[in-house]
A and B are shown apart, each in its own frame.
Chain A
Amino acid sequence: MRRGLSLLALLLVWEGLALLGLLNPLYVPAPHRVAQVLADLFSEGTLWPHLQATFSAAIFGLVLGLLIGGVLGLLAALVPWVAELLEPVMLLLNAVPRVILAPLLVIWFGIGLASKVALSLILVSVLLFFAVYSGVREVDPRLIERIRTLGGGRWVLLREVYLPSVCSWVLSQLKVAVGFAFTGAVVGEFVAASRGLGYLLSFAQSTFNAALSLALISLIVAFVLFLFTLFERLEQRLLAWKPQASR
């Protein structure tokens, strides 16, 4: 609530300064101008193909990244030689800003959807790899002993200890993953594309259109925030067993 108010206050000050003519509308257009541009984008229908492009790239990247990262993380946690093989690569990928791969991916996969999916997939899968990998490896050994002394075998251990432990790691990373998926899609489009929000952003830049730029930024922020809240709800439901502070 307080955060909402401070945002509103910022917008009001901004609008006020613009009204007083203190802000150059070329650089910092007033909020109502930005809102107008945004409304036009929707009403003229020019936005839809771009939205569709970005969303498909982000969703495909997210789903594939979760799958690939999850499977690789699991394999690495269970099979030692896979871990030896993958860990250095993943650590490297984790250490560098992965968006620097974008130009290369465009060379490999062209300016279409594939290069954007590839970028957001890489962003997401590295994240997920470590979530699953550490989820399995950092299972509380005391819990394993407990289950074993209660007579539980491998299957019980998997279902009662490993799976919930991994799930909690993965869930806590899911929100970040959504953000990453969109970053990948938009940056990919920014580098080279014929459609997408990233493409529009780059178009706004080359035509010196700050209003369009801000409109797109607020649009992307709104989408990501929406998905964030969605996943937060999911997390709260599924992680009811965690104390609030550590969630």
Chain B
Amino acid sequence: MLKVERLTLGYGVTPVLEGVALEVAPGEFVSLVGPSGSGKSSLLRAIVGLVTPQTGQIIRGLELEEIGFLFQDDALLPWRTARQNVALGLCIHGVPRKEALEEAEAWLVKLGLSGLSDRFPYQLSGGQRKRVALAQVLALKPRLLLMDEPFASLDAILRTQLTRDLLSWVEGEGVSVLLVTNDLEEALSLSDRIYLLSKGPRAVLRRSYAVPFARPRDPVGVRADPRFGRLLGELWKDLEEVVLCGAA
């Protein structure tokens, strides 16, 4: 589905990220964790061509249009209503305007935003805007979903709800995911595999972990599994090492 080989990214002489290789198999949920400044976001941007790599290769087993990108902030077009924002992506993908608006409406309802589709972004709460942004991406039926700390700004309850909704959709559709996050528990409860990046600049891939929990999975319930605590401890230890090592 997606393969990144010996990827070096950065501006100027010192790269942010150096010689990184990773892979996302079809239907696989992969998380990328690491200290801030390790180039995680740049890596995602490079995959969709927003950033040009200095060296290395990105092999996409699918069209660019089949990749959905959910950003950290929920910058929707402020001059478009929720519905128009969702429809925009569909229009760009060639769906006629009227159908796009209807489909957008359906997606908003599906994501629990019925009755809010004619609101402008400023009239929505942070969580609602996030759902609109999610609808905008999901409506395009991506086969690979890239997410850059998508729920970082939300409170714990909203975050859990959204994560659960998203996970059930991802599992249902068999979508592959590459998630960038700072939250180790989130990474562990959602992923099949986790990559740990070292501290930037010149961040490298430190380790990868296979996550053994079965699917479909309850991202909250899975935390009660004794293996969850063990893996989390291991991840924490490695992350701390990585951070300290960078500081020295």
Q: Contact: B69 with A149, CB < 8 Å?
A: yes
Total interface residues on B, CB under 8 Å, equals: 26
Q: What's the Cα separation between A154 and B27 when bound, in Å?
A: 32
B157, chain A: closest CB distance, angstroms: 26
Known interface pairs A150-B140, A242-B122; A156-B92 also in contact (CB < 8 Å): yes
Indicate if the CB atoms of B88 and A151 lie closer than 8 Å: no
Q: How far is the CB of A187 from chain B (nearest CB, A)?
A: 36
A142 adjacent to chain B (CB < 8 Å): yes
Q: Tell me if A150 and B79 are in contact (CB < 8 A).
A: no
Q: Provide the bound-state CA to CA distance between A150 and B45, in Å.
A: 13
Contact B50 A240 (CB under 8 A): no
Given that A160-B88, A164-B79, A241-B79 are contacting pairs, would A150 and B73 also be in contact in the complex, using a CB cutoff of 8 Å? no
- CB-CB nearest in chain B for A246: B122
What 1/0 flags go to B76-90 for Cβ under 8 Å of A?
111111000000110
A-B pair number, CB within 8 angstroms: 55
Interface residue B29 (Cβ < 8 Å from any Cβ of A): no
Contact of A148 among B50, B76, B79 (CB under 8 A): B50
Contacts A150-B136, A151-B89 known; A140 to B75 CB distance under 8 Å? yes
Name the A residues within 8 Å of B92 (CB-CB). Answer: 147, 150-152, 156
When distances are taken between beta carbons in the complex, the residues of chain A under 8 Å from B64 are 151
- Judge whether A143 and B75 touch: CB under 8 Å: yes
Which of B48, B75, B89, B93 sits near A142, CB closer than 8 Å? B75
Contacts of A142 in B (CB 8 A): 71, 73, 75
Bound-state CA distance A143–B73 (Å) is: 10
Contact surface of B with A, Cβ cutoff 8 Å: 45, 48, 50, 64-65, 67-69, 71, 73, 75-81, 88-89, 92-93, 120-122, 136, 140
Q: A140-B75, A143-B77, A145-B71 are in contact. List 17 more A-B contacts (CB 8 A).
A: A142-B73, A142-B75, A143-B75, A145-B50, A147-B88, A148-B48, A149-B50, A150-B92, A150-B140, A151-B89, A151-B92, A156-B92, A240-B120, A241-B78, A241-B79, A242-B122, A243-B122
